[in-house]
Amino acid sequence: MATDTKPPFDAADPLGIDDLLSDDDRAVRLTVRHWAHERVLPYVAEWYEEGEVPGIRELARELGSLGALGMTLTDYGCAGASAVQYGLVCLELEAADSGIRSLVSVQGSLAMYAIHRYGSPGQKERWLPSMAAGETIGCFGLTEPDHGSDPAGMRTFAKRDGADWVLNGRKMWITNGSVAGVAVVWARTDEGVRGFVVPTDTPGFSAPPIRHKGSLRASVTSELVLDDVRLPADAALPEARGLGAPLSCLSHARYGIVWGAMGAARTCLDTALAYARTREQFGKPLGAFQLTQGKLADMAVELHKGVLLALHLGRRLDAGRLRPEQVSFGKLNNVREALEICRTARTILGANGISFEYPVMRHMANLESVLTYEGTSEMHQLVLGKALTGLDAFRG
Ligand code: FAD
C-alpha cells in the first residue's frame, strides 16, 4: 500500500500557504514576529488606553534596523526586499496593532516612496538614508478637513514668490504628523497639484495632535497647519505633476494594508479559538457547540483566502503586473473580511470581548480606521465598479 505523504493538518495554516513562501520570506516573517512579540505586544494595550506611544522614536529606529522602512525601495540604505516580504512584515506588525503597521506604511510606502519615486537626487540623498534608518520620521499630507475621498478639491495652495514657494492651508488626519521630521505635503499650484518636501521645523509649520480618537489610539494622528510656510525652489518634488502622483503612493500603501488587515484578523481568530477551547457554558467548551464551530470555520476560511489573495497580489507586484484596480479589490475584500472576523471573535468572547484585557476590541476598533483610510471601502467599490462597467459613478 502506498504511504501517505500528505503533511498533517496545521490549524495555523490550513491551506499550506507556507509552502508557497521561500526560506528567506519565512525568515523575514519570523524576525518581525519576534520583534513585535518583544517590543509591541507587552505594552500595546496600555499605549492604546493612554492614547500615546511613548517610545515611538526608538521603535522607529528599531524598525529601521530591521530593514522594515522603505523596505521594497532600492539604494539610500533601503532593503530592496520583495513585495511579498514587505507584505509579510505588514501582516506581522498588524497582528500586534494596526497603529504600528500604519507607522511603517506611512513612513515607507507614502513619505519615502514619494521622495524615492518623484524626488530630485538632492532630496533623495538628504532624506532617504535617515528615513530608512528610522532616524527621521515622515508623514504624508493629502487629506484636508473638507476634502477626503475627493482630494481634487484640495485648498492648500503653494504660490511662487520669486524663487521660493509659499504654502498655506490645512491637512487633517495625518499619521505620524506630530512626530515627523519631514512632511510630504500635496498642494494646488498655478501649474496643478504638486508635492513639497517640508522640513517640519520650517517657520509657519505646526502639527497639533488629534485627540479623543476611538480607533488607532497607538498611532500618532495630527492636523498639519501651514501658515506662510516659505520653502526654497528645490522643495518641490520635480517629477510629481498632478494628482496621479499622490494616488500612486497610496496604491503602494494600500497593497501593504491588504496583508496587514489579515494580521489583525489572525490575532482575533487565534484569541477566539483559545477562548472557545477553554470557556465552558452548558457543561461544555464553547468550541464544542456547532454554532461556535460554524463561526470559527467561516473566520478561518476568510482569513486564509485573504492571505492567498494578498500573496497573489504580491507576486503580481513583484512581477510588475499589479494594477490599481487589483489593489482596490484586495483592500476592499481583506479589510471588510478582517473586520467581520474581529466582530465575530468579539461575540465568541462574550462580555470579555469588549475588554481591553483581550486584543479583539482594539483590533476591531482599529480596523474601522483601516476601512476608511487609504480610500474608503466605498471608493474601492467605485473603482471596481468603474473597471467592470466602464461607467464612472464617482460623481453620482
Ligand atoms: P469623506 O470623503 O467625507 O467620506 C465620508 C463617507 O462618504 C465615506 O463613507 C465615503 O466612502 C462616502 N463617500 C464619499 N464620496 C462618495 C461617493 N462619491 N459615493 C459614495 N460614497 C461616498 N490622510 C492623509 O492624507 N494622510 C494620512 O496619513 C492619513 N492618515 C489617517 C489616519 C486615520 C486614523 C484616519 C481615520 C484617516 C487618515 N487619513 C489620512 C485620512 C483618510 O484618508 C480619509 O479619512 C479618507 O480618505 C476619507 O475621507 P473623509 O474622512 O473626509 O471622508
Q: What are the tens digits of pLDDT across the range 244-278?
A: 999 999 999 999 999 999 999 999 999 999 999 99
Distance from Cα 376 to the centre of ligand 1, integer Å: 6
Q: What are the tens digits of pLDDT across the range 206-240?
A: 999 999 999 999 999 999 999 999 999 999 999 99
Is-contact 90 213, C-beta < 8 A? no
Averaged pLDDT for residues 158-183: 98
Please check the confidence at residue 288 and state whether its pLDDT lies above 70.
yes
Sorting pLDDT into bands at 50, 70 and 90, what band is 1? Answer: low
Please check the confidence at residue 97 and state whether its pLDDT lies above 70.
yes
Please check the confidence at residue 3 and state whether its pLDDT lies above 80.
no
Distance CA 362, CA 117 (A): 34
User: For this structure, is 325 an active site residue?
Assistant: no
Cell of 179: 512626530
Q: What are the tens digits of pLDDT across the range 17-27?
A: 999 999 999 99
Architecture of domain 138-241: Beta Barrel (2.40)
Distance CA 244, CA 235 (A): 19
Instruction: Name the nearest CA neighbour of 131 among 71, 204, 202, 215.
Output: 71
Ligand 1 and 100: CB distance under 6 A: no
Where are any strands of DSSP class E within 83-154?
A: 138-141
Residue nearest to atom 31 of ligand 1 (CA): 173
φ, ψ dihedrals at 227, nearest 5°: -115, 100
* CATH code of the domain made up of 17-132: 1.10.540.10
Q: What are the tens digits of pLDDT across the range 111-135?
A: 999 999 999 999 999 999 999 999 9
Ligand 1 and 271: CB distance under 6 A: no
245-389: CATH homologous superfamily? Butyryl-CoA Dehydrogenase, subunit A, domain 3 (1.20.140.10)
Distance CA 164, CA 234 (A): 8
| Candidate from 101, 179, 184, 372 with most ligand 1 atoms within 8 A of CB, to mutate | 372
What lies within 8 Å, CB to CB, of 373 at 6+ separation is: 173, 175
Sorting pLDDT into bands at 50, 70 and 90, what band is 5? Answer: confident
Please check the confidence at residue 375 and state whether its pLDDT lies above 90.
yes
At residue 34, the pLDDT reads: 98
Sorting pLDDT into bands at 50, 70 and 90, what band is 2? Answer: low
Domain definitions of the chain by residue range? 17-132, 138-241, 245-389
φ, ψ dihedrals at 172, nearest 5°: -135, 145
